[in-house]
Amino acid sequence: MSKVSLDLIQKLRNITSLGMLDCKKALEEANSDIDAAIELLRKKGAAVASKRSDKDTSEGYVHAYIHPGSLMGVLVEINCETDFVARTPAVHQFAADVCLHIAAMKPRYLSPEDVDAAFLEKEKEIISEQLRNEGKKEEFISKILVGKVEKLYSDVCLLKQAFVKNDKITIDDLTKELVAKTGENIKIRRFARFEIGA
């Protein structure tokens, strides 16, 4: 196992906000390849998140963001297992980042499960009609529609959107990273975006 430089550990720590020891172990395992180390940490975060996913999240934190000029604001409710974790800087920073993201990206729903059925059917009709107009055969339209619906989810669902500060990860990935960091189940429960004239 090669020795990992302190500079590289610090660089990974700045990218992931995880502890020095976690970053050092990941870099050692990835032979000092920072991209491979990030991937390893992501997988670890997803594994921790899946183990904790059934834990009760009855504590939490509500964060408010008002955009300069006071014409737009966002409220987000973050739920976690303990009040202790709800008060940590990591959760507060996460909530602030999520609010900023919601302000910029205007998600309509939290997850695909929350998408209004009438809205989804209307979108499917529009997409199907566009595909027919492009000359696509009926037997291919249903297959193409699956991918188009996934793309729609990534546009309108908060958890599926690419994070505004790092488009290589989704808000769901960002949440899993926080779960790995805190060791607790953490969920975005709901959000509201208010904009004058919208």
Q: Do 94 and 167 belong to one domain?
A: yes
Q: Do 103 and 124 belong to one domain?
A: no
Q: Do 104 and 23 belong to one domain?
A: no
pLDDT tens profile 118-159: 999 999 999 888 888 888 888 888 888 888 999 999 999 999
Would you say residue 195 has pLDDT above 90?
yes
For residue 137, being part of any structural domain is answered with yes
Structural domains counted in the chain: 3
Place 11 in a pLDDT band, splitting at 50, 70 and 90.
confident
* Calpha distance 86→84 (Å, rounded): 5
Print the domain residue range for 138. 116-155
Q: What is the DSSP letter of 4?
A: P
Domain boundary among 52, 70, 85: 52
Name which of 96, 97, 151, 99 is nearest 120 in CA terms: 151
CATH number at residue 181: 3.30.479.20
For residue 1, being part of any structural domain is answered with no
Q: What pLDDT does 54 receive? A: 62
